[in-house]
Structure 1
Amino acid sequence: MAPASKDSLTVVDNRNGKTYEIPIAVTAHDASVPASAFKDIIHVKEDPRTGNKEKVGLRVVDRGFLNTAVIQSYITFIDGDRGILRYRGYPIEQLAEQSNFLETSYLLIWGELPSKSQYDRFHDEVMNHSTTHVDIEHVFKSFRYDAHPMSILTSVFAALGSYYPEANPSLQGQNLFTKKDLASVQNMDKQIYRLIGKAPTLAAMAYRVRQGRHFITPPPGLSYTGAFLYQMDCLGQAEYKPNPVLERALDILFILHADHEMNASTTTVLQAGSSLTDPYSAIATGCASLYGPLHGGANEAVIRMLISIGSPDNVPAFLEQVKRREKLLSGFGHRVYKTTDPRSRIIRRTADEVFKVTGKDPLIETAMRLHDMALKDEYFVKRNLYPNVDFCGLIYKAMGFPLDFFPVLFAVPRVVGWIAHWRQMMLSPDGVKIWRPRQIYIGPEERAYEPIGQRQEREQRAPTDGPTAVFHSGQSKRSKLATFVGKSKL
């Protein structure tokens, strides 16, 4: 038997004594093994009813993708143990201090910081594509007055794709964005300009429709975040200009939120994108994923938590409730970081600048007491529960944004990260392979169909064992009591 390669894993199947050699791919940052290699480790499965035997390879189980890599990426590097975040090799601290959001966007998408002329062209394209078709206004106005702005934004991104049939592989051919010729790349770049340019416009429209205000055409001559604030807040005042401190703070927060590797929403965008759907539909799926309280809704949850605590004096009792698992602690801990989230330090500095012009939010004292006590408590330190980026909600609150708008302020910059990863996948030299995870089936074996008259009603031992009764009131209740043609008889 030939000696095993140094860069390999030797696996012994103790069920039959067979030995398998699995290659290890070593990169500058880590090492990996192909999950598909475990399919060659065969075991025999027997059907308990028929006795038939079937050879089945091993599957790798990874609930929640705790240690499964789905792609190779050049975009974002995270070292969770050391608290490092870099975009294309550049430390997030340097970009937050010296760059701006559009320059960082260029970096994330095309891999290098732009020259002056490259930046100017990109800036002009994005800002020139910030307006929307007038019919989009009707989509916004079709929502209830109290609709959550993330529901609105998700829906409008999906609708936006219907305005650009040239961006739809279902209409133009499935290799629309993957053939890498000049026309294909130009088409892709145009969609990138549109998505980045329209993201703040759509967000501002979602904000204004909730306020009962007319929509505003994006103004010329302002920065990306300046134009965003203008579209949200201007009520017709002549020469209206957003406060520069708030404008810069929002720009920094946009940089921090632009990308974060394979988070839930980015993975969702790539899952959808792997079917070669149009980029607008893929971005809409990212918004839907970001909407959840375990992801983009977390900064909103932080503020609600602080409000529920009430005052700094109540923090010790709250932390004891967290330890007893009676309350949830938001704003601490991260799937990747095992130390302080590097973005949280930047947020703290940015908050200090914002508070100079807005005044300190009353919740800041509660937040700081929570921060200081948690960092000194062995229970939280042992569990790596350090502050994360979700404390940016304090800045949003100080700037006067409503709580349910916080996820939108996350989604607008994250569009750039989603696009960067989508583009990287479309242009992969290995082509696009549809993402189709496997499962471990644990349900019943084959069984015969029984006609409804012969079935016995099974006991429902838990609420989840069958459909539950829904409370009816008003018209529904009256209709259930009425008689009419076609009404089912129970």
Structure 2
Amino acid sequence: MAEKVAKLELPGNDSIELPVKQGTAGFDVIDISKLGSKGYFTFDPGFLATASCESAITYIDGEQGILLHRGYPIGQLAVESNYLDLCYLLLYGELPSKAQYEKFAATVRNHTMVHQQVEFFFRGFRRDAHPMAMLCGVTGALASFYQDSLDVADPKHREIAAYRLVSKMPTLAAMCYKYSVGQPFQYPRNDLSYSGNFLSMMFGVPCEPYQVNPIIERAMDRIFILHADHEQNASTSTVRLAGSSGANPFACIAAGIASLWGPAHGGANEACLKMLEEIGSVDRIPEFIERAKDKNDPFRLMGFGHRVYKNFDPRAKVMRETCHEVLTELKVDDPLLDVAMELERIALEDEYFISKKLYPNVDFYSGIIMKAIGIPTSMFTVIFALARTVGWIAHWKEMLDQPGHKISRPRQLYTGEAERDFIKLSDR
């Protein structure tokens, strides 16, 4: 098959032929990498029409509501798999055999502890510090403890760093929570699953044994699975950008955490809970529904619709089922959860929401689940970062594994002053 080519007409009647690349799914991509030699660059604020890399990890079709990890639909993974199974898939490209899985899971379990000196970093934080601020700081600081895995040119070092980050992130996340509530840190337990261990470190106390509720454990695992990777979003692109310079993996993941902290990215489920608090009670819902429909009102319903998914969020169906399982199990008496369930009912039946495809998304349901479990809203984005770490690492490894990768260097359209003579301070 002949290679497809796009022809670009340039000023002065010049033209240039640009190769058109085809992936295994999705849009064709015009290769503009040689355009600079002709003295031109493309202008694409936010890189919304620019493919920054080649990747074989995750595929999204927002129009059809498709999310695939290494070719496997997210719905199947969330129901049939578990988080560590997905971690292996993202990192290595194929599902593990039973023996490979057992070895992988055992290695992760055996690296969940962090260096004891990390505890002293937390003592330097104020008790009311945001957990994301602490997580960002201590993650970057890991580079000072694990200096035997900082040579990013060494594939073995990259693999060791991947294991360490996937293993230790739940421990660090739980430490952020424990410090903020003034409780002692809980050591990891190797007899528990990845999600069960996280719940134990979050809610366990030294004075009595912690019993993991299997329904809550499965819900937590699904939250991790559904947030593990989402293609070239802001935080993943940040990790790749930092990694392109040869920065160590702990610094790169800290950069991803900082990017995720932005309310337009990782703070959606936290914003959803704040919206429910603003509504306050079921009887006020009609008032806020009318405000949401009013184009002149700044109020917006958070947790409905999605920037990427124009039809439905494929993660939301599984999360909805899990949400109702958790609420049934815990029998939580919380007015905000009543508000959430009534909002969900309206969104699935109201013609306005249906016509605009404003269905409840994964952030809506995950926020409700975490609130029901007892996780404070300040920890929501921390848990998002915990889950997303494996996706960040998978993209970081993929980039460094590709031959000829370069340091990222976006261009700009300069609109400042042209060259002008400097005026000495005495003459101004």
TM range (shorter): over 0.9
1:18 to 14, 35, 54: 14
1:415 to 379, 383, 389: 389
1:221 to 150, 166, 191: 191
Structure 1 match to 2:269: 299
Tell me, in whole angstroms, the C-alpha distance in 2 between the residues paired with 1:452 and 1:380: 61
Name the amino acid aligned to 1:316.
Answer: P
Structure 1 match to 2:301: 329
Structure 2 match to 1:263: 233
Name the amino acid aligned to 2:111.
Answer: H
Summarize the Cα distance change of 1:419–1:319 in structure 2 as closer, same or farther, 3 Å threshold: same
Structure 2 match to 1:354: 326
Structure 1 match to 2:141: 159
In the superposition, the TM-score normalised over structure 1's length comes to 0.82
Tell me, in whole angstroms, the C-alpha distance in 2 between the residues paired with 1:60 and 1:86: 29
Name the amino acid aligned to 1:112.
Answer: E
Q: CA deviation at 1:329?
A: 2.8
Structure 2 match to 1:177: 152
Structure 2 match to 1:212: 182
- C-alpha offsets along residues 248-294 of structure 1, whole Å, 9 cap, x if unaligned? 11001100011111111111111100111110000000110111111
Tell me, in whole angstroms, the C-alpha distance in 1 between the residues paired with 2:425 and 2:340: 59
Whether the 8 Å CA contact 2:280–2:335 is kept in 1: the answer is: no
Structure 1 match to 2:418: 445
Whether the 8 Å CA contact 1:425–1:432 is kept in 2: the answer is: yes
- 1:70 matched to 2:40? The reply is no
- C-alpha offsets along residues 31-80 of structure 1, whole Å, 9 cap, x if unaligned? 11112243355xxxxxxxxxxxxxxx222111112111111111111111
Q: Report which stretch shifted further, 380-389 or 440-449.
A: 380-389
Tell me, in whole angstroms, the C-alpha distance in 2 between the residues paired with 1:268 and 1:290: 9
Tell me, in whole angstroms, the C-alpha distance in 2 between the residues paired with 1:296 and 1:89: 25
Structure 2 match to 1:93: 75
1:127 to 90, 109, 113: 109
CA RMSD of aligned residues (A): 1.9
Tell me, in whole angstroms, the C-alpha distance in 1 between the residues paired with 2:348 and 2:328: 26
Whether the 8 Å CA contact 1:177–1:427 is kept in 2: the answer is: no
Structure 2 match to 1:47: none
For residues 186-335 of structure 1, the aligned pairs below 5 Å read 186-322=156-292, 323-335=295-307
Structure 2 match to 1:39: 36
Q: CA deviation at 1:222?
A: 0.5
Q: CA deviation at 1:331?
A: 1.1
Q: CA deviation at 1:226?
A: 0.8
Whether the 8 Å CA contact 1:75–1:111 is kept in 2: the answer is: yes
Whether the 8 Å CA contact 1:302–1:331 is kept in 2: the answer is: yes
Same amino acid, percent of matched pairs: 47
Q: Report which stretch shifted further, 296-305 or 363-372.
A: 363-372
Tell me, in whole angstroms, the C-alpha distance in 2 between the residues paired with 1:370 and 1:203: 31
- C-alpha offsets along residues 80-133 of structure 1, whole Å, 9 cap, x if unaligned? 111011111111111111111111100111011111111111111111111111
Summarize the Cα distance change of 1:374–1:35 in structure 2 as closer, same or farther, 3 Å threshold: farther
Summarize the Cα distance change of 1:143–1:153 in structure 2 as closer, same or farther, 3 Å threshold: same
SS at match of 1:77: strand
Number of corresponding residues: 422
- C-alpha offsets along residues 315-350 of structure 1, whole Å, 9 cap, x if unaligned? 333234333242133212323211111111111100
Tell me, in whole angstroms, the C-alpha distance in 1 between the residues paired with 2:421 and 2:289: 54
Q: CA deviation at 1:449?
A: 1.9
- C-alpha offsets along residues 4-41 of structure 1, whole Å, 9 cap, x if unaligned? x771112223x423333222112231311112243355
Summarize the Cα distance change of 1:36–1:148 in structure 2 as closer, same or farther, 3 Å threshold: same
Summarize the Cα distance change of 1:65–1:98 in structure 2 as closer, same or farther, 3 Å threshold: same
Name the amino acid aligned to 1:333.
Answer: G
Structure 2 match to 1:471: none
Structure 1 match to 2:343: 370
Whether the 8 Å CA contact 1:273–1:422 is kept in 2: the answer is: yes
Whether the 8 Å CA contact 1:290–1:411 is kept in 2: the answer is: yes
Whether the 8 Å CA contact 1:77–1:261 is kept in 2: the answer is: yes
Summarize the Cα distance change of 1:372–1:40 in structure 2 as closer, same or farther, 3 Å threshold: farther
SS at match of 1:339: coil
Q: CA deviation at 1:298?
A: 1.1
Name the amino acid aligned to 1:235.
Answer: V
Q: Which runs of 5+ in 1 are unaligned?
A: 42-56, 169-175, 179-183, 456-490
Tell me, in whole angstroms, the C-alpha distance in 2 between the residues paired with 1:244 and 1:38: 56
- 1:8 matched to 2:5? The reply is yes
Please identify the structure whose Cα radius of gyration is greater. Answer: 1
- 1:339 matched to 2:311? The reply is yes
Whether the 8 Å CA contact 2:3–2:19 is kept in 1: the answer is: no
Tell me, in whole angstroms, the C-alpha distance in 2 between the residues paired with 1:10 and 1:315: 54
Q: CA deviation at 1:368?
A: 3.7
Summarize the Cα distance change of 1:61–1:384 in structure 2 as closer, same or farther, 3 Å threshold: farther
Tell me, in whole angstroms, the C-alpha distance in 2 between the residues paired with 1:388 and 1:220: 34
Structure 2 match to 1:149: 131
Name the amino acid aligned to 2:304.
Answer: F
Tell me, in whole angstroms, the C-alpha distance in 1 between the residues paired with 2:345 and 2:47: 32
Q: Which runs of 5+ in 2 are unaligned?
A: none
Whether the 8 Å CA contact 2:236–2:395 is kept in 1: the answer is: yes
